[in-house]
C-alpha cells in the first residue's frame, strides 16, 4: 500500500504504446467477484458482481485504479499539486483529493454547480465532506461557464494561475479518463482473467458497466478484447450519448495505438434517463429494491443507472439474456447517495416508535 513500483503490462497488451513505466499501489486489489442473486432474471441467467466499490481509499471505487497510474506520472514529473475537474458530487474529484493527500500532494478541484449556487459555500454533503476534510481547495464554476469554456480550458486556466504562484501542478482530466488512465482498467481485465483462471468465478458471456467519462469502459473493453475473457461488453452511458462515447473511446484507443474500432469492442446504450446525476423515481426504487433484496447498495449516478438499463434490456429482449453468465462491474460512488436523501426518504418508511411495556 502506497508503494511505488515498476509496471509491466500483460503479455497481450505489450504492443500498446505508450505504456506506463511505474504505478503507485493505492487500491486494495484484487476486488472480489461473487454471485449476485437479483430478482426476476430471465431463465437460467446468472449475474455476478465485481466489487470495485471495495477498492478502498475512502470508497474511491473505480477511480483509484486510474489514479494509480496518473499520480505515479505526477510524482515522476515532480508535481507538488494536482488539478482536476468534475460535477459538484464528482466521485473522481473526491478520490483524487484523497489519493493526492496520501501522496503528499495538494489538490485543487474545479467543481461544476448551478448558477444559483456558484457564489455560495457548497456545503458538506456527500463527496464534498471528504474533499474538504482532506484539505482540497474547491473552485466553483457554473454549468454555463463549464459549457462555454469546456473542462480542458478551465483546467488550463487554473494550472497557469498556480504556475504563476510558483507551484508545479499536474492536470488530471475529467474522470481521469485519458490514455494513461485507461491502463487502470486494462489491468482490471487482467485481474478478471486471473480470477477466472483461478476458478473463483465462471467464464462470462456478458460484462455490464456504467459509462460516465469513458476511461473505465475503454480500458475494460480493450482488455476484454485482447485477453482470454472475450465477453460482450455493454456500457450504459449516464451522461452524453452513445455516439459521443464511441468517438471519445476511439480517441483513447488511438492514443494507445490499439488499432481497434470502439464499435467492435463495446455496445453502448443510452441510460442517462433524466440527465447526468438526475434520478427518476423508477431508478431509485430499483436501487432500494436491490439493496433490500441483496444487501448491495448501488450509487444513483453510475451503477444504479447501469443496472436500470440492464434490467430494461432483459425485459425487452429476455431471449438474448436467457442462460447467460453476466458480470456486473460495481464502480462505487456510495457517497453520492447522500445527495438524494429527499428523493429516497419516501421510499424507506420502515420505522416506528418502539412500544415499551
Q: Which three cell numbers stand for residue 264?
A: 467492435
Q: Determine the pLDDT at residue 350.
A: 83
Q: Which three cell numbers stand for residue 54?
A: 471495495
The catalytic residue positions are 90
Check: CB of residue 67 under 8 Å from CB of residue 216.
no
Q: For the segment 140-170, what is each residue's pLDDT rounded down to a tens digit?
A: 999 999 999 999 999 999 999 999 999 999 9
- Residue tagged 424507506 (cell numbers): 348
Domains of the chain: 3-62+178-346 (3.40.50.1100), 63-176 (3.40.50.1100)
Coarse DSSP helix, strand, coil percentages of the chain, rounded to the nearest 5 percent: 45, 15, 40
Determine which helix (DSSP H) or strand (DSSP E) holds 113, and give its type and residue range: strand 106-113
**How far is the C-alpha of 207 from the C-alpha of 153, rounded, in Å?**
35
Q: Determine the pLDDT at residue 19.
A: 97
Q: Can you spell out the DSSP letters for 292-331?
A: HHHSPPPPTTTHHHHHHHHHHHHHHTHHHHTT-EEEEEE-
Q: Which three cell numbers stand for residue 280?
A: 427518476
**How far is the C-alpha of 73 from the C-alpha of 179, rounded, in Å?**
13
How would you classify the pairing of strands 33-35 and 46-51? antiparallel
Cα 272–Cα 277–Cα 278 angle in degrees, nearest 5: 75
Determine which helix (DSSP H) or strand (DSSP E) holds 190, and give its type and residue range: helix 179-197
Tens of pLDDT, residue by residue, the chain (357 residues)? 889 999 999 999 999 999 999 999 999 999 999 999 999 999 999 999 999 999 998 888 999 999 999 999 999 999 999 999 999 999 999 999 999 999 999 999 999 999 999 999 999 999 999 999 999 999 999 999 999 999 999 999 999 999 999 999 999 999 999 999 999 999 999 999 999 999 999 999 999 999 999 999 999 999 999 999 999 999 999 999 999 999 999 999 999 999 999 999 999 999 999 999 999 999 999 999 999 999 999 999 999 999 999 999 999 999 999 999 999 999 999 998 999 999 999 999 888 999 998
Amino acid at each position: 500500500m502506497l508503494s511505488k513500483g515498476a509496471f509491466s503490462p500483460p503479455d497481450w497488451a505489450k504492443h500498446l504504446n505508450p505504456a506506463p513505466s511505474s504505478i503507485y499501489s493505492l487500491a486494495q486489489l484484487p476486488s472480489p467477484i461473487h454471485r449476485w442473486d437479483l430478482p426476476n432474471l430471465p431463465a437460467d441467467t446468472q449475474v455476478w458482481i465485481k466489487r470495485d466499490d471495495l477498492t478502498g481509499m475512502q470508497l474511491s471505487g473505480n477511480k483509484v485504479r486510474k489514479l494509480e497510474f496518473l499520480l505515479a506520472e505526477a510524482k515522476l514529473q515532480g508535481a507538488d499539486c494536482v488539478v482536476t475537474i468534475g460535477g459538484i458530487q464528482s466521485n473522481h474529484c473526491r478520490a483524487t483529493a484523497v489519493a493526492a493527500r496520501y501522496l503528499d500532494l495538494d489538490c485543487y478541484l474545479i467543481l461544476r454547480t448551478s448558477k444559483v449556487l456558484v457564489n455560495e459555500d457548497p456545503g458538506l454533503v456527500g463527496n464534498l465532506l471528504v474533499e474538504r476534510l482532506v484539505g482540497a481547495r474547491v473552485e466553483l464554476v457554473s454549468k454555463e461557464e463549464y459549457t462555454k469554456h469546456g473542462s480542458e480550458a478551465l483546467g488550463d486556466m487554473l494550472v497557469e494561475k498556480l504556475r504563476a504562484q510558483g507551484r508545479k501542478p499536474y492536470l488530471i482530466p475529467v474522470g481521469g479518463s485519458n490514455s494513461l488512465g485507461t491502463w487502470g482498467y486494462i489491468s482490471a481485465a487482467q485481474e478478471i482473467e486471473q480470477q477466472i483462471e483461478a476458478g473463483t468465478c465462471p467464464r462470462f458471456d456478458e460484462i455490464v458497466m456504467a459509462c460516465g467519462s469513458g476511461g473505465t469502459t475503454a480500458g475494460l473493453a480493450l482488455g476484454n478484447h485482447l485477453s482470454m475473457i472475450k465477453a460482450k461488453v455493454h456500457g450504459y452511458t449516464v451522461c452524453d450519448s452513445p455516439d459521443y462515447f464511441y468517438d471519445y473511446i476511439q480517441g483513447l484507443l488511438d492514443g494507445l495505438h490499439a488499432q481497434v474500432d470502439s464499435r467492435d469492442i463495446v455496445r453502448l446504450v443510452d441510460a442517462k434517463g433524466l440527465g447526468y446525476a438526475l434520478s427518476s423515481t423508477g431508478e431509485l426504487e430499483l436501487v432500494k429494491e436491490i439493496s433490500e433484496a441483496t444487501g448491495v447498495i448501488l450509487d444513483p449516478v453510475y451503477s444504479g443507472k447501469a443496472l436500470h438499463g440492464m434490467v430494461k434490456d432483459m425485459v425487452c429482449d429476455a431471449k438474448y439474456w436467457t442462460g447467460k453468465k453476466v458480470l456486473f462491474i460495481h464502480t462505487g460512488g456510495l457517497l453520492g447517495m447522500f445527495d438524494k436523501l429527499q428523493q429516497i426518504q419516501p421510499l424507506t418508511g420502515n420505522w416506528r416508535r418502539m412500544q415499551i411495556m
